[in-house]
Amino acid sequence: MSLKGKVAVVTGSNSGIGLGIAEALAAQGASVAINSFTDRPEDHALAARIADEHGVKAVYIPADMSNGAACRALIATAKEKLGSVDILVPNAGIQHVAPIDEFDPAMWDRLQSIILGSTFHTTAAALPIMRAAGWGRIVVIASAHGLTASPFKSAYVAAKHGQIGFVKVCALETAQEAITCNAVCPGYVLTPLVEAQIPDTMKQYNMDRETVIREILLQRQPSKQFATVEQLGGVVTFLCSPAAEQITGTAISVDGGWTAL
């Protein structure tokens, strides 16, 4: 499969899942725009490395995904710098945990804007570009929490469920065009952020690394294995392939059986 000539925008992609997806798309020949809210030399160096390693164009575009106008400007800037926006991967997100009656209303609003709002705004800005090109792929990185729930994560669960509903609407609105819209729903993924939590969790529970992973972090993941950023990148690239032309409006779980329970 080749994505040569295609341009991908991946939000929230200067580390972790987003960066892994950007790398996977670049490996298939797509030019990529990576993004976060920071504007550091190391962010731009990431884009330069991707370009050098994969022989594609790559740019870093800072944008605050909690701001609708900034989300739309990200898409416009990517088109200006790279010539198109053929693939959109809304991935940006944050987490906050608290009981509903104690949940900070400002944090509720922030989660909704970064997760659900940015999905809407970037998609709305990208669709006219995809329609003009006659081809497009939108792959929303949702979560197992878009299909099930956990206590104390009301804002995150609501936003992720909202993303999956949005994907279904978008798929119906583009069903007779060469544009698809799907969601990928990861369970727990071994990212640098999760890796950094393991030593403290070992101390907290007085457990070894393997036991902490199996019994604490992956308590709800039946496979007792983390998903990897490489696996998620593979699913996203598959959804951009000709084999996936009739896959639209779906939520694909990459969660080791979590949502089968």
Question: How does pLDDT run across 217-243, given as a tens digit for each residue?
Answer: 999 999 999 999 999 999 999 999 999
Residue 62 β-bridge partners: 36
DSSP label at residue 14? S
pLDDT of residue 6: 98
Residues of the chain above pLDDT 90, percent: 97
Question: What pLDDT score was predicted for residue 193?
Answer: 82
DSSP run (H or E) holding 137: strand 136-141
CATH topology for the 7-188+227-254 domain = Rossmann fold (3.40.50)
Find the angle CA(223)-CA(227)-CA(231) to the nearest 5 degrees. 125
Secondary structure class of 250 (helix, strand, coil): coil
Q: Are 170 and 123 in contact (CB under 8 A)?
A: yes
Average pLDDT over residues 202-225: 95
| pLDDT on residue 25 | 98
Structure confidence by residue, pLDDT tens digits, 23-32: 999 999 999 9
Q: Is the pTM of this model over 0.85?
A: yes
- What integer pLDDT is reported at residue 160 of this predicted model? 98
Residue 205: how many CA atoms within 13 Å on its side-chain side?
A: 16
Q: Compute the radius of gyration of the chain from its Cα atoms.
A: 18
Whether pLDDT at 106 is above 90:
yes
- In angstroms, the CA 33 to CA 17 distance is 15
Q: What is the mean pLDDT of residues 138-163?
A: 97
Q: How far is CA 130 from CA 88, 127, 137, 158, 241, in A?
A: 10, 5, 8, 28, 16
How many residues appear in the chain?
A: 261
- Give the mean model confidence (pLDDT) for residues 156-165: 98
For the chain, domain boundaries: 7-188+227-254, 190-226
CB 62 within 8 A of CB 36: yes
The angle at the Cα of 243, spanning 237 to 247, to the nearest 5 degrees, equals 85
Instruction: Summarize the confidence of residues 53-58 as an average pLDDT.
Output: 98
60 is catalytic: no
- The pLDDT of residue 50 is above 80: yes
- Give 194's Cβ-side CA count (13 Å radius): 17
Query: Residue 170 in 3-state DSSP?
Result: helix
Q: Which of 60, 156, 188, 205 is catalytic?
A: 156
Q: Point out the least confidently predicted range of 5-14, 97-106, 189-198.
A: 189-198
| Euclidean distance between CA atoms 193 and 31, whole angstroms | 26
Q: Are 220 and 226 in contact (CB under 8 A)?
A: no
Report d(CA 122, CA 73) in Å as an integer: 9
Mean pLDDT of the chain: 97
What mean pLDDT do residues 236-256 have? 98
Cβ 57 vs Cβ 51: under 8 Å: yes
In the prediction, which pLDDT does 192 show?
87
Q: Per-residue pLDDT for 1 more than 90?
A: no
pLDDT at res. 87: 99
Q: Given pLDDT bands bounded at 50, 70 and 90, which one contains residue 52?
A: very high
CA 38 to each of CA 4, 5, 62, 202: distance values in angstroms, whole numbers, following the listed order: 28, 28, 6, 31
